[in-house]
Amino acid sequence: MTYIICEPCIGTMDRGCVDVCPVDCIYEGEDMLYIHPEECIDCGACEPECPVNAIYPEEDVPDEWKEFIKKNYEYFEGGVERQVARGKGG
Ligand code: SF4
Ligand code: SF4
């Protein structure tokens, strides 16, 4: 299991979730952030920190955003160059 970031993050990207993740598994993509499905320990700390409610446990992702589950997993496939988003303004 993992947590998934959905559509509301696009254009928001305030990194509130990054600041509270104990294992630094949230990475910054071009237009939104992504959670590494294997590094996430399902602690749930990020979920209440998101000001736009973009984060859900994988099994609870709303139907209209199911595509973001695939998008999240695909981001980490094929050696995509990842930019770690650690802390605000970093
Ligand atoms: S659930 Fe916990 S480990 Fe997973 S991304 Fe959120 S804060 Fe990080
Ligand atoms: S807290 Fe929410 S909106 Fe902000 S970067 Fe994280 S997922 Fe995106």
Q: Which ligand is nearest to the CA of 54?
A: 2
In a domain, 42, yes or no: yes
In the chain, what is the straight-line distance between the N-terminal and C-terminal CA atoms, in Å?
28
Evaluate whether residue 43 is within a structural domain. yes
Give the range of the structural domain holding residue 67, as residue numbers without chain letter: 3-78
CA of 39 to the centre of ligand 1 (A): 8
Res 90: pLDDT: 41
Distance, CA of 90 to CA of 52 (rounded, Å)? 21
Q: Among 48-52, 59-63, 74-78, 86-90, whose mean pLDDT is lowest?
A: 86-90
Q: Is residue 85 part of a domain?
A: no
Chain segment 3-47, per-residue pLDDT in tens:
999 999 999 999 999 999 999 999 999 999 999 999 999 999 999
90 domain residue, yes or no: no
Nearest residue (CA) to ligand 2, atom 2: 50
- Give the pLDDT band of residue 82 (cuts 50, 70, 90): low
Contact 35 CB / ligand 2 (< 6 Å): no
pLDDT for res 19: 97
Non-local (6+) Cβ contacts of 85 within 8 A are 15, 18, 26, 27, 28, 33
Instruction: Read off the CATH number of the domain in which 72 is found.
Output: 3.30.70.20
Nearest ligand 1 atom, CA 21: 7
* Residue 89 domain-assigned (yes or no): no
> Tens digit of pLDDT for each residue in 55-79?
999 999 999 999 999 999 999 986 5
Q: How far apart are CA 19 and CA 66, in angstroms?
A: 25
Domain for residue 69, yes or no?
Answer: yes
Number of domains in the chain: 1
Q: Would residue 31 count as lying in a domain?
A: yes
